[in-house]
Structure 1
Amino acid sequence: METQGYSAAERLERLPISGYHRIIFIIIALAFFFDSMDLAMMTFLLGSIKAEFALSTTQAGLLASSSFFGMVIGASLSGMLADRFGRKPVFQWSIVLWGIASYLCSTAQTVEMLTLFRVLLGIGMGMEFPIAQSMLSELIPAKRRGRYIALMDGFWPLGFVTAGVLSYFLLPIIGWRDIFLVLAVPAVFVLAIRFFIPESPRWLEQAGHHATADKVLQRIEDKVRGSLGSADLPEPIRLPRIESRPGHFLSALNEIWSPLYRQRTMMIWSVWFFALLGFYGLTSWLSALLQQSGFAVTQSVYYTVLISLGGIPGFLMAAWLVERWGRKPVCIITLLGGGVMAFLYGQSAVFGGNVSLLISSGLLMQFFLFGMWAVLYTYTPELYPTSARATGSGFASAIGRVGSLLGPLVTGLVFPITGQGGVFALGAMCFAVAAGVVWLFGMETRGKTLEELSEVTVG
């Protein structure tokens, strides 16, 4: 078929979902999984590290927050780097960085060194998350984009549960240092990314590299034909044309604050900040708070893993609903549901620590909160054009990581005063605020191509 004169978006959007798309999805999602597992591990190891170094709750909160400080830096830089130099190289180096940092965590002999290495780990993870969602959103056609990105985010609760399982079985045997060493091994996964993941043709075209974009598109089309076992592909359909705007390093940052995107930016930054303030203020302390309530270390890890299993049906439900109901209503429902269940979980811990009530309310809390994650990762990259997508996603994630940074610190300060009930009530309030922002200022993006959502057309 003659594709001369068609844009990258027109050629990508007409492709049927194939085994090739699924391979790309699996590779990106597994990188996301390993990253999430490394980040989540602190939830399960914090109690042991706190005991070994004799940390106060405030000091432990500072250590738990250190990764998020690094993520603020990583997310802020990676988006601008990816919009300027491409998605693929930034994605690769982010994985190398967190692999090296995870190894360094295993060598830390003081809490100060561990904190520093967790900051470096956070920079790598902060770089990877927004690039993963931008890459996948640009390679998957609009009719399945939301579902695939939401499913990618589902690898976060899987990573969380895997981190808990590893902690439960390995922590009594090898200790927390060697667990960090085990987590450094998946960094070799970068080799698979180098060979199998293409650069985004949308980005190449937007940056003015038309010949390279055409070559990458031809390879993708050949792979799809081979996967489908057919020589024919559907005819491209004309879409809004987006003007190529290769610019300087800060041009994408200026674009997300232009009049066209300013409200979207303020809305999504607010949602990420309050959602992550509540989420990490609670989950970073789940295991440690259970220990504080009298549970043994292995018991607290076991119950935290059990509670986290609720996130698996949560993200699967969200992945289905974002294409049926839309991003906006599902985002509001998951935030409000998570807030209600967080409040009930806190109260169940207060009134006698009833285990069955604790587990049931915790399962429902994680069901809604991991569903919330799936929607956020789907929704955010859709709000921006290709020229600023990674920057928009990166800075939204960075603002969220400021909330992540403050969450464990606030929890460490509030807990001695209000107890667990007050901590979880505060988390519930954060989710309610985020839901209100989406309800008042959010736009619906379901079923539209990225070019239609950008609302910037030429010709």
Structure 2
Amino acid sequence: MKISERLEQLPVSRFHYVLLITAGLGWMFDSMDTGIVSFVLPVLMKEWHLSPEQVGNIGSIGLLGMAIGAIIAGTIADRIGRKKVFAFTLLTYSIATGLCGLSWNLTSLMAFRFIVGFGLGGQLPVAVTLVSEFSPVKHRGKFLVLLESFWAFGWLLAAIVSYLIIPKFGWPIAFFIGFLPALYILFLWRSIPESPRYLESQGRINEAEAIVVKIERASNVTTNPNITGKASESKEPQLRTPTDQAKFKELFSPILARRTVFLWLLWFGIVFSYYGIFTWLPSLLALKGFSLTKSFSYVIIMTLAQIPGYFSAAYFVDKIGRKPTLALYVLGTAITAYFFGQGTTAAVILTVGSLMSFFNLGAWGILYTYTPELYPTHARATGSGWAAGFGRIGGILAPIIVGEMIGKFHLGTQTVFLLFALVLVAVVLDVLILGEETKGRSLEQLASE
């Protein structure tokens, strides 16, 4: 029995939950940093007298870093391993976040935010690749959505820190708190092993075997001595090559081209809407006439709604499948985004905004489940990184477009959220037309079809 088959057939054990929590905490710190800058922006608008266009540029420069980081880190992770890149990217964005607290003007803040974005963007596709390669087939969807659910806790932590810290101690302290995840790297390095699938694809059979045996013992599973241990017997398509350029070309091979186009469009639309909405959310609430403290407290409530959104998606993604669940949650986001833009009272904004968070972050969980499933092991991090990197283009454009719509063209939030609703409807069509169902199929089956 091959290493990949043994991993697929393992029962869910303490090891899987420790891996999920360890990777999830890194994910949470990633989210906390993204959230902190969203809460800092409305303060900087007043303190530094920034225009809406300049605020949009701050959001977009971070997304530019995320795009480049996702592509580079994903490619490197297929060369040197998932674990090393995961640790390096966490250290990068933590240190850069602390430096943001030392920013003295707009230019310095944008420079630091670019570095932060590079680390953030690099970590996410690598983390989801790592968890997907350890998860048993029957529970893979659930585990990947639960991994993404840590994003909600990071945003909630950012909202609480910002609510308590910024009004009393100023915005730099919020960034200094964002440096603390750098200390987590020591625990992470001891707790997360390298992916045996990655090691097997590199011909490092003995290392892969040692890790799988350790997991089997921890799971009270008797090791099967009849192991082929031959990478050449893998069922993945024989397209392997050591060059990064060839791996990129493989993403558009006859086997993978449709999947790549589907994922790139999917990522673009979801990232465009998410960062357009949530990077600007505290500022948009302030523009609707709510005080800064009110805006922060409303965002905390909306963030809480993300948690059941993730958990419900985690339930449905393995019950009814990736494709119908994703289409449903994206459509729900489109409808609620439209009505959020029309809202004028606190009750309407809180209700519809909470539903928007519920559906949007549930869709994100399914997105991170879908992406690594559609690529073979030797190109999984590369494919995931390029999909995320292309998607970040949408994230770069969204804050700028919102800034231009509000500052230059003096358009209201109704028009802004109508735009997001239309983009999300296009994403639903992408899922229904180009998406394929992956529920219940092993990573090796998906790679060979």
Shorter chain as denominator, the TM-score bin is over 0.9
Matched AA of 1:426: L
SS at match of 2:235: coil
- Give 1:232's aligned residue: 222
Pairing 1:388–2:379 present? yes
- Give 1:444's aligned residue: 437
- Give 1:112's aligned residue: 107
Change in Cα spacing, 1:233 to 1:320, as seen in structure 2 (3 Å) is farther
CA distance in 2, matches of 1:199, 1:92: 12
CA distance in 2, matches of 1:224, 1:180: 41
Matched AA of 1:223: A
SS at match of 1:295: coil
CA contact (8 A) 1:10 1:236 kept: no
CA contact (8 A) 2:59 2:279 kept: yes
Pairing 1:167–2:162 present? yes
CA distance in 2, matches of 1:245, 1:264: 18
Q: Which of 415, 418, 421 lines up with 1:422 in the alignment?
A: 415
CA distance in 1, matches of 2:6, 2:286: 55
**TM-score normalized by the length of structure 2:** 0.95
Residues 282-303 of structure 1: CA deviation (Å, up to 9, x unaligned)? 1111100111122111111111
Residues 171-210 of structure 1: CA deviation (Å, up to 9, x unaligned)? 1122111111011111111111211111111011111212
Matched AA of 2:329: T
Q: How does 1:290-305 map to 2 (within 5 A)?
A: 290-305=285-300
CA distance in 1, matches of 2:246, 2:140: 26
CA distance in 2, matches of 1:8, 1:174: 53
- Give 1:78's aligned residue: 73
Q: How does 1:192-271 map to 2 (within 5 A)?
A: 192-225=187-220, 232=222, 241-242=235-236, 245=240, 247-271=242-266
CA shift for structure 1 position 232: 3.2
CA distance in 1, matches of 2:244, 2:430: 30
Matched AA of 2:43: S
Change in Cα spacing, 1:244 to 1:254, as seen in structure 2 (3 Å) is closer
CA distance in 1, matches of 2:423, 2:152: 21
CA distance in 2, matches of 1:200, 1:94: 17
Change in Cα spacing, 1:139 to 1:236, as seen in structure 2 (3 Å) is farther
- Give 2:304's aligned residue: 309
CA distance in 2, matches of 1:237, 1:216: 14
CA contact (8 A) 1:14 1:236 kept: no
- Give 1:152's aligned residue: 147
- Give 1:370's aligned residue: 361
CA shift for structure 1 position 440: 0.3
Return 154-163 or 421-430, whichever deviates more.
154-163
CA distance in 1, matches of 2:213, 2:175: 41
CA shift for structure 1 position 418: 2.1
CA shift for structure 1 position 247: 1.0
Residues 5-51 of structure 1: CA deviation (Å, up to 9, x unaligned)? x3221111121110111101110001000011101212211100111
CA distance in 2, matches of 1:256, 1:16: 32
Structure 1, unmatched stretches of 5+, are 1-5, 226-230
Q: Which of 40, 44, 48 lines up with 1:45 in the alignment?
A: 40
CA shift for structure 1 position 378: 0.5
Matched AA of 1:188: L
RMSD: 1.7
CA distance in 2, matches of 1:65, 1:302: 25
- Give 1:123's aligned residue: 118
CA contact (8 A) 1:208 1:246 kept: no
CA contact (8 A) 2:39 2:162 kept: yes
Return 205-214 or 419-428, whichever deviates more.
205-214
CA contact (8 A) 1:326 1:445 kept: yes
Pairing 1:183–2:174 present? no
CA shift for structure 1 position 265: 0.2
Return 8-17 or 28-37, whichever deviates more.
8-17
CA distance in 2, matches of 1:396, 1:186: 26
- Give 1:3's aligned residue: none
**TM-score normalized by the length of structure 1:** 0.93
CA distance in 2, matches of 1:259, 1:95: 35
Percent identity between matched residues is: 37
CA distance in 1, matches of 2:267, 2:181: 28
CA contact (8 A) 1:83 1:252 kept: no
SS at match of 1:154: helix
CA distance in 1, matches of 2:251, 2:35: 30
Matched AA of 1:212: E
Pairing 1:65–2:55 present? no
- Give 1:379's aligned residue: 370
SS at match of 1:107: coil
Q: Which of 327, 336, 350 lines up with 1:359 in the alignment?
A: 350
- Give 1:228's aligned residue: none
CA distance in 2, matches of 1:236, 1:419: 66
